[in-house]
Amino acid sequence: MLACATAIAAFGTAGPAMADPHPSAVVQAPPSPPSPDDVIGLVQTADRAADAAAFELLASGDAAKQAAVTQMLAIAQRDQEAARAAAASRALVVAERHVAEERLRLRGLSTQAYVSGGNTSLDRLGDLLRGDTTDPKGGVAIMFDEMLKNQVARLRSARAARGGAQGRLEAANLRLTQAQQAADDAAAAAADRQRIKAEAEARRFQALVDQQAARNRLRSAAGAGVQTVPLGVPIVGDPVLTPEDLAGWFLGSTYHSALPTPITEFAKWFIDEGRQEGIRGDIAFAQAVLETGGFTNHDSVAYNNYSGIGHCDTCAGGFAFPSPMLGVRAQIQLLKSYAIASPVYVNPLVDSRLHGPRGCCPTWGDLTKKWATAPNYGPIVMGIYSQIVAYALPRHALLLPR
């Protein structure tokens, strides 16, 4: 294996960096040169975009339906208020007519009393008032007084009814205005939701086009054979390959792990730990294969150390870690300290000495003569990773929907 000559000298004695409870300080990876595994990442990105577009379209469709229902309810309410306002208007017309009729009757009675001088025949008014007729002239006076009082009361009642009808009409017109405004607002909201839905449909269509293009590129790349992944790929970044890719390649290779832990577990740890810290755990797996001779050397078996951490050229062995999973975490954390000048860790440091020459190595190629003394360290790591990519490309192509 390649010993880590410079890493041990770079370890500090300061206490462990504490975990950031909100790992929001995500470091952006520097631009990466074109790589054979890009097509896998493009498919993954396109799939996520297509799923997001489908969800957006579903949500916008539901919102458009709800807006349409709201609009229909608002229109129904407006029509109901319009009917009520029309009824109130008709009632006011009737009330106005009653006032006019009662006013006319009062005017007629008043005029008749003035013209007759109170001498109207009792026979003509007897059907309206039954009283003492022994004094015809007095009876007529009583008759007119009572009729005038009664007519005045009826006019007042008619006017009160007209006032009530007027108030009800004004209230109905106010409700109608409000209902019309609500219907207009609902119509505008429904139109806006339909516009959003149409835009979501367009984005969904474009996402499907992009998804198909990415899949076609992957199918084409799957038959191209082994292509070397460039040394300029950043250490920082999300894994492209899956645990199944890593374990499947290893189990089909000439390597035979000497560890009791299944290689499938290691593959999962490298991907999960790498994703947590923002480090390419899939390439770190290839580094571990190089450092351990396929998980067979003494450090890996005895110390859970899979990357030569602390194992200098003249050292009997490297650092020991409490468990296989923490050995993987230690490698990921140390890689982060090499790639980033001021790393912030999601998990507490496995070992307080896990401090490399911070920020020295943004890319995997930069690890040459820094992580280990070999002058071709970076190319060998990327060569192993290239073999894994060559295995993964056809596998991912076969998994694509037909």
Token pair of 235, please? 């250490």
Whole-model pTM: value is: 0.70
Of the candidates 69, 60, 62, 59, the one whose C-alpha atom is nearest the C-alpha of residue 187 is: 69
Residue 25 lies in a domain: no
For 63-67, 79-83, 307-311, which range has the lowest pLDDT when averaged over its residues?
A: 307-311
d(CA 177, CA 81): 9
* Domain region containing 236: 7-12+230-399
3-state class (DSSP) for residue 279: strand
| Distance linking the first and last C-alpha atoms of the chain | 43
pLDDT digits (tens, 9 = 90+) for 284-297: 999 999 999 999 99
Q: Which of 218, 243, 273 is the last residue of a domain?
A: 218
Residue 1 lies in a domain: no
pLDDT digits (tens, 9 = 90+) for 176-193: 999 999 999 999 999 999
Asked whether residue 187 falls in the same domain as residue 279, the answer is: no
Asked whether residue 294 falls in the same domain as residue 320, the answer is: yes
Q: Is the dihedral of CA 171, 174, 179, 180 positive or negative?
A: positive
* Per-residue pLDDT, 11: 35
Asked whether residue 333 falls in the same domain as residue 361, the answer is: yes
Residue 30 lies in a domain: no
Q: Which of 198, 218, 238 is the last residue of a domain?
A: 218
**C-beta neighbour count of 209 within 10 angstroms:** 12
* Per-residue pLDDT, 140: 57
HSE value, Cβ hemisphere, 13 Å, CA-based, for 344: 8
* Per-residue pLDDT, 153: 87
Asked whether residue 244 falls in the same domain as residue 319, the answer is: yes
Cross-strand partners of 372:
368
Q: Which of 218, 246, 274 is the last residue of a domain?
A: 218
Q: Let me know: does 370 contact 357? Beta carbons within 8 Å.
A: yes
Helices assigned H by DSSP within 117-135: 122-125
Asked whether residue 71 falls in the same domain as residue 200, the answer is: yes
pLDDT digits (tens, 9 = 90+) for 367-376: 999 998 899 9
Asked whether residue 101 falls in the same domain as residue 125, the answer is: yes
pLDDT digits (tens, 9 = 90+) for 240-249: 999 999 999 9
d(CA 374, CA 376): 5
pLDDT digits (tens, 9 = 90+) for 196-239: 999 999 999 999 999 999 999 999 999 888 899 999 999 999 99
**∠10-13-17 over CA atoms, to 5°?**
95
Cross-strand partners of 234:
363
Q: Let me know: does 360 contact 7? Beta carbons within 8 Å.
A: no
State the Rg of the chain over Cα.
Answer: 46
- Scan for tokens 């015809």, then name that residue: 136
- Scan for tokens 């797996």, then name that residue: 285
Instruction: Please state the separation of Cα 371 from the chain's center in Å.
Output: 42
Asked whether residue 287 falls in the same domain as residue 139, the answer is: no
Residue 287 lies in a domain: yes
HSE value, Cβ hemisphere, 13 Å, CA-based, for 354: 31
Residue 172 lies in a domain: yes
Token pair of 70, please? 């709201």
Instruction: Please give the single-letter amino acid code of residue 299.
Output: D
Asked whether residue 213 falls in the same domain as residue 259, the answer is: no
Asked whether residue 311 falls in the same domain as residue 260, the answer is: yes
Residue 383 lies in a domain: yes
Query: How many residues in total does the chain contain?
Result: 402
Q: Assign residue 145 the CATH number of its domain.
A: 1.10.287
d(CA 388, CA 270): 14
Q: Which residues contact 271 (CB under 8 A, 6 or more apart)?
A: 239, 241, 242, 243, 246, 281, 282, 285
How far CA 203 is from CA of 65, 217, 286, in Å, comes to 19, 21, 38
Percent of the chain with pLDDT over 90: 68
Asked whether residue 176 falls in the same domain as residue 274, the answer is: no
Q: Which residues contact 162 (CB under 8 A, 6 or more apart)?
A: 92, 95, 96, 98, 99
Count of domains for the chain: 2
Q: Assign residue 268 the CATH number of its domain.
A: 1.10.530.10
Average pLDDT over the chain, rounded to an integer: 86
d(CA 15, CA 352): 5
**C-beta neighbour count of 314 within 10 angstroms:** 7
Asked whether residue 66 falls in the same domain as residue 184, the answer is: yes
Of the candidates 273, 278, 339, the one whose C-alpha atom is nearest the C-alpha of residue 306 is: 273
Residue 177 lies in a domain: yes
Instruction: Please give the single-letter amino acid code of residue 398.
Output: L
* Per-residue pLDDT, 285: 98
Asked whether residue 307 falls in the same domain as residue 236, the answer is: yes
For 47-51, 96-100, 265-269, 359-363, which range has the lowest pLDDT when averaged over its residues?
A: 96-100
Residue 136 lies in a domain: yes
Helices assigned H by DSSP within 225-357: 243-252, 263-277, 281-292, 298-303, 324-339
